[in-house]
């Protein structure tokens, strides 16, 4: 069950309302990486979760995201308040919020696109969902960071800094939860990958580019466990027929660093 307490998780203040910035804040209210999407994603994942510990984690964080939604919504509302004055110039700058929303927040992003459940990543596989959550928190953190660069309002910065920081807290929690449910990050589901093929790296972007782009070497295409297939499209390498070490003319081992 839910219980609403008439107090924000973080006290919000705005020194100088800025309706254009208020519109930007709606990205974290009703956008793809916003707080409502996070709250719904984690809560529904929690409802589906059979692991008692991770279910508790998902419901805790999903509920906190609703508190974040309240914080960002109130912050946006304070910045949008001048749009309630029927100022023609301000109304023309944001007719959707002024005319349709009466100067308040709505479930849409900064471009006016309505919130949709398509934003949610829910698979019913705990380890896969946790990976989605880690990525979601990272994306939200970056959005808050960009918003922080776009305002000089001290009160807004305080609230955004708080929300941005909690994204890192949640990211860490989801990473720790993933570690607790799987010891091998490459084990996903129950059907194993095809041996040999799983260790092949296809070098599909070759040559030298006009801006100095060249083939690079990293852990993903070097080492004893990796078989590099050079230019498979140009050499006629048949991926579906491949077996371990089957293409001696096009396969190489890379162990050097860039």
Strands (E), 81-129: none
List, in sequence order, every beta strand (DSSP E) within 98-173. Answer: none
Q: Where are the domains of the chain?
A: 19-181, 197-252
Query: pTM of the prediction?
Result: 0.87
Structure token digits, residue 131: 């990976």
For position 252, what pLDDT does the model report?
56
The rounded distance, in Å, linking the Cα atoms of 153 and 162 is 14
* pLDDT at 237 (0 to 100): 87
For the chain, helix (H) and strand (E) counts, in that order, are 9, 3
Q: Which fold has domain 19-181?
A: Ferritin (1.20.1260)
pLDDT in tens, 169-206: 999 999 999 999 998 888 899 899 989 899 999 999 88
Q: Specify the pLDDT at position 241.
A: 55
Give residue 105's pLDDT.
92
Closest CA to 68 of 17, 29, 106, 115: 29
At 235 the pLDDT is 87
Phi and psi, residue 111, nearest 5°: -100, 0
Q: What is the C-alpha to C-alpha distance for residues 224 and 6, in angstroms, rounded to an integer? A: 60
Per-residue pLDDT tens for 118-150?
Answer: 999 999 999 999 999 999 999 999 999 999 999
Mean pLDDT by 10 residues, the chain (258 residues): 95 95 96 98 98 98 98 96 81 76 87 95 97 98 98 98 98 97 89 91 88 88 91 82 48 49
Q: Which residues contact 68 (CB under 8 A, 6 or more apart)?
A: 9, 35, 38, 39, 163, 166
């Amino acid at each position: 069950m839910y219980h609403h307490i008439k107090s924000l998780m973080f006290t919000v203040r705005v020194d100088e309302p800025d309706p254009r910035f208020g519109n930007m804040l709606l990205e974290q209210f009703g956008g793809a990486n916003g707080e409502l999407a996070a709250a719904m994603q984690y809560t529904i994942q929690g409802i589906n979760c059979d692991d008692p510990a991770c279910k508790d984690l998902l419901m805790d964080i999903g509920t906190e995201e609703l508190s974040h939604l309240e914080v960002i919504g109130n912050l946006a509302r304070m910045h949008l308040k001048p749009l309630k004055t029927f100022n023609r110039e301000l109304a023309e700058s944001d007719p959707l919020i002024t005319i349709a929303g009466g100067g308040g927040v709505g479930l849409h992003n900064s471009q006016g696109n309505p919130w949709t459940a398509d934003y949610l990543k829910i698979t019913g596989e705990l380890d896969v969902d946790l990976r989605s959550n880690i990525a979601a928190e990272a994306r939200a953190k970056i959005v808050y960071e960009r918003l922080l660069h776009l305002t000089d309002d001290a009160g807004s910065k305080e609230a955004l800094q708080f929300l941005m920081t909690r994204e890192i807290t949640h990211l860490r929690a989801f990473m720790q939860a993933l570690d607790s449910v799987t010891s091998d990050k490459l084990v996903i589901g129950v059907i194993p990958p095809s041996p040999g093929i799983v260790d092949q790296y296809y070098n599909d972007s070759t040559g030298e580019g006009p801006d100095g782009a060249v083939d690079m070497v990293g852990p993903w295409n070097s080492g004893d466990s990796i078989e590099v297939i050079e230019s498979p499209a140009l050499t006629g390498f048949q991926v579906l027929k491949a077996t371990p070490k089957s293409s001696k003319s096009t396969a190489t081992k890379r162990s050097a660093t860039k």
